[in-house]
Amino acid sequence: MGAAPRLSRDGWKGKLQAVARARGLRDEQVQAVTGRPVSYSGIVKVAGDEARDSDLTGQDALFCWMLSSGIAHAKTWAVLSAVLDRVEVPGVPGLAGHQVGLMLSASDKAVTLIASVTTLMVMEGWRLLDERGRGRLP
């Protein structure tokens, strides 16, 4: 038995349209989802907006994703903001007299927020998998 052939872009698009219609999206919403290239930020926002039985919004999900990315990639805005805790490290070699060595780590508040939103997103993912297993989604 060989592996099933990989789907073409149009094949994936058709599959995505079927899922969107099964979820009750109107034709204009389906077209908005499948009619243009999809971005990661768009996926995260829509997933947050579509989560059922939670107070999660797309903006919440997008904010946490961007926050996590900023921390993980040491983006300047994250380093300069309150999302990172700073601890002065004395005696770092190679620093001039007016420079200070810092150890940066994600703040407890940021980690708690990210963990809460991640938990809601994972719960929604499991719910969708259960629906698919029961034959409610294509």
- Shared domain for 62 and 129, answered yes or no, is yes
- Shared domain for 61 and 29, answered yes or no, is no
- Shared domain for 91 and 52, answered yes or no, is yes
Q: Summarize pLDDT for 83-134 with one digit per residue, the tens.
A: 889 899 988 888 888 888 888 899 999 999 999 999 988 888 888 888 878 8
- Shared domain for 33 and 92, answered yes or no, is no
- Shared domain for 123 and 55, answered yes or no, is yes
Q: Model pTM greater than 0.85?
A: no
- Report yes or no on 15 lying in a domain: yes
Q: Summarize pLDDT for 62-85 with one digit per residue, the tens.
A: 999 999 999 999 889 888 888 889
Tell me which long-range contacts 47-52 makes (C-beta under 8 A, separation of at least 24).
47/121, 47/124, 48/117, 48/121, 50/23, 50/124, 51/120, 51/121, 51/124, 52/124, 52/127
- Report yes or no on 3 lying in a domain: no
Identify the domain containing residue 70 by its residue range.
48-133
- How many domains, the chain? 2
